[in-house]
Amino acid sequence: MDRRTATLLAAVALPPLAFLATGQSPAPPLAAGASILAVSAALAILERDLRTAGLASVSVATAILALYGTGLVWHEVAEPDLTALTLVGGTLLVRAWSHRVSRERAAAIASGAVLGMVLAGLSLVAEVGTGAHPALGRPALLDSLFSSRHGLFFWAPLLTIAVCGLVLRAWRGRRDAAGALSALGTLALVSASLRPWWSGGLGNARFLPALPLFALGLATALGRLRSTAERRPLQLAALAGAVLVAWNLLLMAQYRAELIPRDDTVSFPAVAENSARLLAEIAGAPTAWPANWIFAAGRPGAPRASTSAIATPRPGWAGDGAYGTPAGTWSAVRSRDGHGSSCPWWTRGRPTCACTRRGRELFV
Tell me how far apart the alpha carbons of residues 257 and 278 are, in angstroms, rounded to a whole number.
11
User: For 253-291, how does the pLDDT look when each residue is reduced to its tens digit (9 = 90+)?
Assistant: 999 998 998 888 899 999 999 999 999 888 888 888 888
* pLDDT at residue number 193: 94
Kindly report the CA angle at 144 between 143 and 147, in degrees rounded to 5?
Answer: 50
- 269: which residues sit within 8 A by CB, 6+ positions away? none
CA distance 149 to 143: 8
Cα 278–chain centre separation? 23
Parse the chain into domains and list their residue ranges: 3-228, 235-283, 285-364
* pLDDT at position 345: 34
Beta bridge partners of 312: 346
How confident is the model at residue 209, as a pLDDT?
95
Strands ordered across the beta sheet of 343-347: 311-313, 343-347, 350-355
**C-alpha span between 334 and 316 (Å, rounded):** 19
Three-point CA angle 198, 221, 155, nearest 5°: 20
From first CA to last CA, the distance across the chain in angstroms is 57
Instruction: Give the per-residue pLDDT at 1.
Output: 76
Output the pLDDT for position 301: 57
CB-CB contact of 147 with 191 (8 Å): no
pLDDT for 136: 86
Angle of CA points 3, 158, 348, to nearest 5°: 145
Cα 301 to Cα 12, 284, 353, distances in angstroms = 49, 16, 21
Residues of the chain with pLDDT under 50: 303-364
Nearest C-alpha neighbor of 324 from the set 171, 174, 148, 66: 148
Are the C-beta atoms of residues 40 and 84 closer than 8 Å to each other? no
